[in-house]
Amino acid sequence: MALGPYAAFIVTSYALVAAVVSILVLWIALDYRRQLQRLRELETSGVTRRSGRGAAELQ
């Protein structure tokens, strides 16, 4: 595949976008786990949700 004189720019751009998207996916996954843990802590302390579903049911 010949990208011409802009090959370095194109490859760098795609690499940076892939890195940013990977970081965002990782951040969302970690935040999801943190939120589930926080919900479990609240439920064990007696706080309930109006929907009636537990944090364990969300997984």
Give the span between the Cα atoms of 33 and 46, in whole angstroms: 20
* Cβ atoms of 40 and 55 closer than 8 Å: yes
Q: Which residue pairs, CB below 8 angstroms and at least 24 apart, start in 28-31?
A: none
Condensed to tens digits (0 to 9), the pLDDT of residues 3-59 reads 899 999 999 999 999 999 999 999 999 999 999 999 999 888 887 767 666 656 666
Write the CB contacts of 11 (distance below 8 Å, at least 6 apart in sequence): 3
The predicted pLDDT at position 53 comes to 64
| Alpha helices by DSSP H, the chain | 7-44
The predicted pLDDT at position 3 comes to 82
Write the CB contacts of 54 (distance below 8 Å, at least 6 apart in sequence): 43
